[in-house]
Chain A
Amino acid sequence: MMLTRAIPLWIAVIGGMVMLVSAFLKPIEGLGENFADAFNVIAAIASVLGAGSLLKSNLSSISRRDAGWGYAVLVLFTFIITLVFGLAKIGVHPSHDFPTAAFSGKQETPDTPFGWLYEYAMVPLTSTMFALLAFYVASAAFRAFRAKNLEAGLLLGTAFIVLLGRTFAGVVLTGWLPEWASGLRLENLSVYIMQVFNTAGNRAIIIGIALGVAATSLRILLGVDRSWMGGGGQS
């Protein structure tokens, strides 16, 4: 109980309080910086935990023969290949500064197997995944965007203005409007929607979120909210 609850709680309370107060008190600014450094170290360690979690979940998926377990095999295979090429620096040339030291080169350079994995696997695969969105959004546009009520109608109207105003179509369709009515040109209406309606709505959301974050942070710092330690619940 002491190790799993009390110590993490005190680390969070002390670390959070120091970082909060160090923003206002110059003498303890360095202490706040040390906690920020510690955060960076923990973030780096978290990547190791992430790798462990990836291995665990995929291995258990394979051993249970879950639906789509073949994809888990593929994930593990590519993960291990990338890890080996990256850590062992296979095919990496020594750096110019230390030409006799075998492991002195950087593995990210384009002329290494690790670089090839990035250039010829990572880049096209991630770009393809992102590009697929256009097809699914088009399908959704046909099947799901319905003006079922006034709110949905307003949303669709706004979408039309922004979709057309963000392309040359806006200029073609409404470029003929005289100067005194230029505010009604689609490209200008699109900017107006983004800068006025969108800004007003988003600012309200941002202020609301900020207040929520401040309240939640205080609850964590004061030890009232302990759900972040797992197991759920409050004190």
Chain B
Amino acid sequence: MNMVDRLNALDRRWVFLLMGLAVAVPILWIGITGNTFPETPTPAAAAVFKAVEDQPEGTRVLVAFDYDPASAGELQPMATALLHQCAQRKLKIVCIALWPLGGNMAQQTIAEVIRADYPAMREGEDFVNLGYQAGNEGVMKVVLTDFKKAFPVDARGQATADLPILQGVQTVKDFPLLLNVSAGYPGSKEWVQYVVSASEGKVKMVAGCTGVQSPQMYPYFPGQLAGILGAIKGAAEYESLVNQSIGGDVAPKYREAQRRMAPQLFGHLLMVALIVAGNTLFFMGRKGARA
């Protein structure tokens, strides 16, 4: 067996080990030094920041947590940064979920951002978690005509009709801004198709989505979607904008996306190296077979 054949038959556990090291070493390095790479925001991420920044103080915003712990590694940093900016701008935050575990993700983000750093915000008045509602697009159709019918109680079991934060809300059109963090179906695409398109321009939407989803969401930008955060890279760009605007010492939880860019860098470099190596072996093998 020559060298090319040996490398072609390489045990894949060596590749797994390389990937493990490519991700683990930068994580440890960042953990020790606290350094992150600088980010230059792309237009799509800057548009998300601007959409939130443009809302006057006290505006009600709807945040849909359409993901679960499986995608939290990619999406949680952007959800945290979105709530951070909304709380900083003194917006009134209404959280909902169309994924069964999305309600838990909302609860976790509220605890991490609002309860920890904005204790003056009162539940039911300044923010609320309405939890999960089954029905996918069915729920979206109902919120277009009667929001409280789709969410009759909040996550604590209190009637939404009695919540001060929802006074005057008839339909989803009473939320000028919809922030959606989505890992798939139902998610950003369905919100665009069933709600934004039917809202007669009254609801502006920004979406944060996984890397797999983002190519499917770009066709809606900047028309139906005012901004997009594509995967952890988009989250890192947005996070840097939020942190710059707030200033001062930044807690590690508000730099999570930027911290994850180093493992992503070395993971991507390894992928490129593996593709180049695999193709080199492929062409060498083909040349040898012809000879």
Contacts and interface: CB of A to CB of B under 8 A. Distances in A.
A142 B275 contact: yes
B245 interface: no
Interface stretch (A6-14, A32-40, A51-59, A73-81): A32-40
Contacts of B29: none
B104 A108 contact: yes
B101 A130 contact: no
Contacts of A43: 134-136, 138
Contact of A167 (B16, B43, B107, B268): B268
B215 A141 contact: no
A134 B218 contact: no
B271 interface: yes
Interface string A87-116: 000000001010000000010100000000
A142 B281 CA distance: 10
A29 interface: yes
A5 interface: no
Which bucket holds chain B's interface residue count? 35 or more
A44 interface: yes
B139 interface: yes
Q: Name the prevailing secondary structure of the A interface residues.
A: helix
Q: Name the prevailing secondary structure of the B interface residues.
A: helix
Contact of B274 (A129, A138, A167): A138
Interface string B219-263: 101000000001101000000000000000000000000000100
A164 B266 CA distance: 10
Contacts, number: 155
A187 B275 contact: no
Given A134-B19, A135-B19, A138-B270, A39 B264 contact: no
Interface string B154-184: 0111000000000000000000000000000
B149 interface: yes
A166 B70 contact: no
Which bucket holds chain A's interface residue count? 35 or more
A1 interface: no
Contact of B233 (A39, A95, A144, A167): A167
Given A142-B15, A142-B274, A146-B282, A126 B135 contact: no
A187 B145 CA distance: 43
A162 B245 CA distance: 28
B96 to A, nearest CB: 14
B70 A126 contact: yes
Interface of A: 19, 23, 29-30, 32-33, 36-37, 39-40, 43-44, 47, 95, 97, 106, 108, 118, 122-123, 126-127, 129-131, 134-135, 137-139, 141-147, 156, 159-160, 163-164, 166-169, 171, 187, 191, 194-195, 198-199, 202-203, 206
